Amino acid sequence: MNDFGLLNWSILIGYIIANLILGFVISKKISSANDFYIGRKTTPWWAIGISVVATYVSALTFLGAPAWSYKEGLSVIAIHLNYPLVIVAGGGFFF
């Protein structure tokens, strides 16, 4: 269990290298603070929507909700069933 293994190390190193290359390539397109923060307002609506959903339904939700429902009972899972309604309502309000 303590051995991380060659496959895991190669995946981790490949992931880090890919992120560094992607950051280097994308950084060439940024020339001002506005480019960094609002991206010249060229980001499509669907990419913003995916980002909002991914932020809202984070890894903590996938890890924390089952643990919370295991500890407190299945009634707390109803909170997580409302996510689609909140996403649609929030998207309709802001877009």
Would you say 56 and 85 are in contact if contact means Cβ atoms under 8 Å apart? no
pLDDT of 51 reads: 82
Residue linked to tokens 């992120």:
19
Q: How many CB atoms lie within 10 A of CB 22?
A: 10
* Tens-place pLDDT, residues 57-81: 777 777 888 888 888 888 887 777 7
Note the pTM of the prediction, 2 decimals.
Answer: 0.47
Written as one letter, the residue type at 49 is G
> In this model, does residue 12 exceed pLDDT 80?
yes
- How far apart, in whole angstroms, are the C-alpha atoms of residue 42 and residue 80? 32
For residue 50, the surrounding DSSP H or E stretch is helix 45-56
pLDDT of 16 reads: 97
**Vertex 56: Cα angle to 54 and 62 (nearest 5):** 80
